[in-house]
Structure 1
């Protein structure tokens, strides 16, 4: 056997297939297992605590990630096939969007408990405005992903699909920044007892007392960490798509594994451990029960 034939059988070209690399099989298996465990947990928790909105949000996000990483696992064995590549584009691009919607809803529930007078938006408006915006981002990213899935056919369609997805992710990034800004303002107003508006309550908190219990504080910390992970992932995907389909970012597997797969895994498991069914009141969560808040604050 000649030296050339030995080299040909041992070396794997880095530009093999549409990824420009061959996805590592064990990493794909790891993420499929991790997302499967989290998704089953989210479904069970949603049923246990009767939080049905967690099914089309966190649970659905897990299902999309399972599909996306299963497609990458398929690609690790058949790197030149376009079908699994197309599936992973759509799956991994849109999967975190329902997870973001879960955070929007949870924030509305928290504001409903600590006092809507400290927030610029009412709890119901948080759910309506941000979730509607999230749905628009989801549709835009799905359309862009479907268009980009035909990247092998024409360069024009690939570029157009990438630009559409980039617009959807950038819009989602803007929504996250606005959400963080409004949430931060609400918490600061609550901390320093500076209501944004007057809301008539049957019994108000005494000066110096807080409506935030230990459980609710843990839920807020969990949401903050979850949002940070999704924000890092969104920044990465924005840079990735801005560099084009042949850029150095999209062509480097470890960036995707850590900054997409890793960040979304941390985010989805955070909502497993800091689940609203455990840390947010289950009894009429959109109502603000001042006396119960006083009792919790006193016991804390």
Structure 2
């Protein structure tokens, strides 16, 4: 990308003149013109994953994992908006905000599903192996993600407004950075809690034949965390940084990790591996405990 393609005020695509509509901003906030092929592929991929996940959720009556399907639906909407940016108008502020809101918010629901998995594992294998109670894990980490995501979306929306008004968006970017920093911290704490539990419960995991699922759970959690770290690094560089202005980073560190995580859970669906509900796992665990006492 040459210097004349990236003016000091932001990126303008020389091959895609600005329509200058009422919802258009002077520059392309993405830092590039989004790839239509990537956006369409991503939307199709998440639609396929939604069908698989929703089908298994219904089949195994694992309604506790439904937030994961909601996250997949958000991914679809986000990438549809991104495809509209790529094909119709990359300068359109509404397309950018919808794209950013849904793609950034989707992992909150995906993470909520992951938090619920750990809660179910603790109920299934025994709370004695966990540093925190299942309920605390759900409430604390989901609330943390909600707070960080609201902050991120507010920062991103404000960036769009500032760009539209031709004002300095640095403060808005700092808000976005604050939300991402907290999210990286929060998921990092979750990884530590989950890792501690899996290490302490490794024998119980083997006895219940959940070793493969535990590995899938760990890998998917790390992938979602990788995506969050990428967003933090991108925002820390500031607008028009090398990460933000190269879509290859977005494809490899935003789309790919999330796509891989949802694929893993499609193959090892929590409903099939852990039971229909968290309450059911608690009942089975109590029954097994009572049987051991009788023996």
Flag whether TM exceeds 0.5 (same fold).
Answer: yes
Once the two structures are TM-superposed, the CA of residue 118 in structure 1 deviates from its matched residue by 1.4
Once the two structures are TM-superposed, the CA of residue 44 in structure 1 deviates from its matched residue by 2.1
Query: Could you report, residue by residue, the CA deviation over 1:138-162 in whole angstroms, capped at 9, with x for unpaired residues?
Result: 3222322332332422465733332
Q: Which of residues 63, 70, 87 in structure 1 aligns to 2:73?
A: 63
Once the two structures are TM-superposed, the CA of residue 265 in structure 1 deviates from its matched residue by 0.8
Task: Tell me: CA distance 1:282–1:213, structure 2 relative to 1, closer, same or farther (3 Å).
Answer: farther
Task: Tell me: CA distance 1:155–1:268, structure 2 relative to 1, closer, same or farther (3 Å).
Answer: farther
Cα distance in 1 between the residues matched to 2:185 and 2:283: 29
Unaligned runs of 5+ in 1: 1-10, 192-208, 296-300
Residue 162 (structure 1) aligned with residue 158 (structure 2)? no
Q: Which of residues 111, 126, 132 in structure 2 aligns to 1:100?
A: 111
Please identify, of 43-52 and 107-116, the stretch whose mean Cα deviation from structure 2 is larger. Answer: 43-52
In structure 1, the partner of 2:38 is 27
Rg (Cα) greater in structure: 1
Query: Could you report, residue by residue, the CA deviation over 1:205-231 in whole angstroms, capped at 9, with x for unpaired residues?
Result: xxxx63544642222111111111111
Query: Could you report, residue by residue, the CA deviation over 1:198-255 in whole angstroms, capped at 9, with x for unpaired residues?
Result: xxxxxxxxxxx63544642222111111111111111110011111121111000111
In structure 2, the partner of 1:12 is 15
The residue correspondences of 1:160-199 to structure 2 (distance < 5 A) are 160-191=171-202
Residue 39 (structure 1) aligned with residue 50 (structure 2)? yes
Cα distance in 2 between the residues matched to 1:156 and 1:81: 17
The residue correspondences of 1:128-143 to structure 2 (distance < 5 A) are 128-143=139-154
Query: Could you report, residue by residue, the CA deviation over 1:73-95 in whole angstroms, capped at 9, with x for unpaired residues?
Result: 11112222222122212122221
Cα distance in 2 between the residues matched to 1:27 and 1:142: 23
In structure 1, the partner of 2:250 is 256
Task: Tell me: CA distance 1:181–1:210, structure 2 relative to 1, closer, same or farther (3 Å).
Answer: same
Cα distance in 2 between the residues matched to 1:254 and 1:149: 22
Once the two structures are TM-superposed, the CA of residue 62 in structure 1 deviates from its matched residue by 1.0
- Cα pair 2:50 2:69 within 8 Å, conserved: yes
Give runs of ≥4 in structure 1 deviating > 6 Å.
13-16
Q: Which of residues 93, 110, 121 in structure 1 aligns to 2:132?
A: 121
Task: Tell me: CA distance 1:143–1:213, structure 2 relative to 1, closer, same or farther (3 Å).
Answer: farther
Task: Tell me: CA distance 1:138–1:50, structure 2 relative to 1, closer, same or farther (3 Å).
Answer: farther
Q: Structure 1-normalised TM-score?
A: 0.80
How many pairs were matched up? Answer: 268
Q: Structure 2-normalised TM-score?
A: 0.81
In structure 1, the partner of 2:266 is 272
Please identify, of 165-174 and 227-236, the stretch whose mean Cα deviation from structure 2 is larger. Answer: 165-174
In structure 1, the partner of 2:92 is 81
* RMSD of Structure 2 on Structure 1 (CA): 2.7
Cα distance in 1 between the residues matched to 2:270 and 2:164: 45
Residue 234 (structure 1) aligned with residue 228 (structure 2)? yes
